[in-house]
Amino acid sequence: MRIEVRSVYQRFEAFEALRGIDLVLSERRIGIVGGNGSGKSTFARLLNGLLLPSAGQVLVDGLDTAHEGKAVRRKVGFVFQNPDNQIVMPVVEEDVAFGLRGLKLSRAGREALVESVLDRYGLLSLRAHPAHALSGGQKQLLALAGVLVTEPDCVVFDEPTTLLDLRNARMVARVIDGLAQTAIVVTHDLGLLERFDRVIVFDEGRVVADDLPAPALDFYRRRMQ
């Protein structure tokens, strides 16, 4: 999996949220940090074509997000900060199956995929439960299950632990750790990134550090003092 971000600018009316980003993302675990409003979420949304750049290009394994959004979104899944924005069906297993709509699968094939992903995230016993009645951590896992059931090569997480208590945050951190897929994680939870391959620091719409976690996080901590 290789994502190329080429001379990307993102404007919202007169405001420039990203000011010239050039990156090649190919590591298995990449963290994105930066102060509030530095452009992290905007950047994350560009990676699977949820947002298209005002200028520049984003290429996912050579596919331009501006022209091949559908194919890009099959390769790159997105997990939102608030799972309530992502859970769309009233019952747990229906919500996971929703991600498979539009794919040509037999009913048995669909059910087998849903069952295996629910099992992997400890949600199998909750399959017939109302999704809204899950705990915060369970909801975050359900949102992730709904993305992973489509078998993307890469998952982008926008602040996956922010709304969770310590126990659930640790559970989600373990799940991210165990993912077979590439993970790109926007977070203020710096501990989550210690064992990552690479950490990129944003400030005012620009990349100001891009390094192994220890030096990048050190730079960020000093900059935020």
Q: What residues line the site for ligand ATP (CB under 6 A)? A: 12, 15, 17, 34, 36-42
Name which of 40 and 75 has its Cβ closer to ligand ATP: 40
Smallest gap from Cβ 12 to ligand ATP, in A, equals 3
Smallest gap from Cβ 33 to ligand ATP, in A, equals 9
φ, ψ (nearest 5 deg) of residue 9 = -120, 145
Name which of 36 and 106 has its Cβ closer to ligand ATP: 36
Cα three-residue angle 189-149-50, rounded to 5 degrees: 60
Name which of 46 and 126 has its Cβ closer to ligand ATP: 46
Instruction: Give the Cα separation of 11 and 206 in Å (integer).
Output: 13
Name which of 36 and 225 has its Cβ closer to ligand ATP: 36
Q: Does residue 193 contact residue 159 with C-beta atoms inside 8 Å?
A: no
Smallest gap from Cβ 7 to ligand ATP, in A, equals 18
Looking from the CA of 56 toward its CB, the CA atoms found within 13 Å total 22
Instruction: Give the Cα separation of 97 and 220 in Å (integer).
Output: 40
Smallest gap from Cβ 148 to ligand ATP, in A, equals 23
Name which of 35 and 122 has its Cβ closer to ligand ATP: 35
Distances (CA, A) of 22 to 25, 158, 178, 199, 210: 10, 20, 29, 15, 11
Smallest gap from Cβ 36 to ligand ATP, in A, equals 3
Of 145, 100, 99, the closest CA to residue 122 belongs to 145
